Amino acid sequence: MIEFKQVSKIYKGGKIAVEDLSFSIEEGEFICFIGTSGSGKTTTMRMINRMTEPTSGTILINDEDIHKENAVTLRRKIGYVIQNVGLLPHLTIGENITLVPQLLNVEKEKRQAIAKKMIALVDLPEEMLARYPHELSGGQQQRIGVIRALAADQKVILMDEPFGALDPITRDTLQDLVKDLQVRLGKTIVFVTHDMDEALKLASRIAIMSEGKIIQFDTPDNILRHPANAFVEELLGADRLLQTKPDITTVGQVMLAHAVSITPEKSLAQAISLMREKRVDTLLVVDEAQVLKGFIDIESIDAKRKTATSVGDILNTQVFYVQQSALLRDTLQRILKRGVKYVPVTDSKKRLVGILTRSSLVDIVYDVIFGEEETLQEAAANQEATPGITEVLK
């Protein structure tokens, strides 16, 4: 879909930003550029939409030379998300989302429908469309920045360190969101980051850059198994314990099949009764089709029991979940980093299919870190013997 042919960028004074790059990106890939400061990763990405013009070489999108097209027209065909979001403060959220469709002369009613569709993708309420950027949190603003890049149905989305300024929890949630949208909508994403964990989590392939050149361009697993040189090894870091022993075990192979859930219309009394019966302090909330909508916990019930009547009244939609097809290695890292007790597991349509718990993963973590003889699959088969929350979730 995107092809670089011997592309270089040299600034005045002879400073080489990128040198003789030749590579291709297939449709539907999630590509991460990573490297040290000044390695040329942002310059490379910005040449795709001609925010930066190359000094020499050719860039093709769908076999068409992008330099034969008007630069403004080209940019309207390519989504762009930046670190500081870039929402226009004098426009409503709805107007910000549909900015490019408006520039493309899409009629007002259709733009309004697009805005409603887009905001539903990121689980934000429709009434937020009438608000202004300053009325939203940083994480909410970044969600709007992401869907604004999707609103004109662009096939290629460029993202320039979009989550670098966010706190770790919000950042992790938005990474999940972007990856989910990319898979569901079939977009091609070119993503610049300085965070190796982020690249390993998101990318289908990673381009590692240094001094204007690509040192290694491969899948995360291949880079972890076969780093090209000492620079790549240093960038990966010796402390990535779980990456030093890459495996292809998926979440679905080791998850617990029974997660305690409830539907939004149920009363708080019913929720408390279920918590008591299952001896848990949190319930996952799903709709009739088993699509994961969020969670409630004992604290939220206690805080709002005088005003709320149903589960839906106190629903927290900011739920951290993973897909059953995700690599267990990556999921383990995220559980350990976040310190969460459990993680809901969904299928590709966000339907709840199981749960991972810290206690059920103890043996697996020990095996990966300390090299015990028991394999991941054997540990998963022995989960029933693990004490703690595992017992009450059966």
pLDDT digits (tens, 9 = 90+) for 288-312: 999 999 999 988 888 888 888 899 9
Q: What is the pLDDT of residue 393?
A: 31
Q: What is the pLDDT of residue 34?
A: 96
Return the percent helix, strand and coil in the chain, to nearest 5: 40, 25, 35
| Residue numbers in the chain where pLDDT is lower than 70 | 84-85, 238-248, 330, 333-334, 336-339, 359-394
Give the contacts of 14 (CB within 8 A, at least 6 positions apart): none
Instruction: Give all strands (DSSP E) within the chain, no chain letters.
Output: 2-10, 16-25, 30-35, 56-61, 64-65, 78-82, 156-160, 188-193, 205-210, 213-218, 261-262, 282-286, 292-297, 322-323, 342-346, 352-357
CB atoms inside a 10 Å sphere around CB 151: 21
Please give the DSSP secondary-structure letter assigned to residue 351: B
Q: What is the pLDDT of residue 178?
A: 87
Q: What is the pLDDT of residue 180?
A: 84
pLDDT digits (tens, 9 = 90+) for 43-89: 999 999 999 999 999 999 999 999 999 999 999 889 888 776 678 88
pLDDT digits (tens, 9 = 90+) for 90-131: 999 999 999 888 888 899 999 999 999 889 888 888 999 999
Whether the Cβ atoms of residue 362 and residue 341 lie closer than 8 Å to each other: no
In the block, residue with structure tokens 């969460």: 340
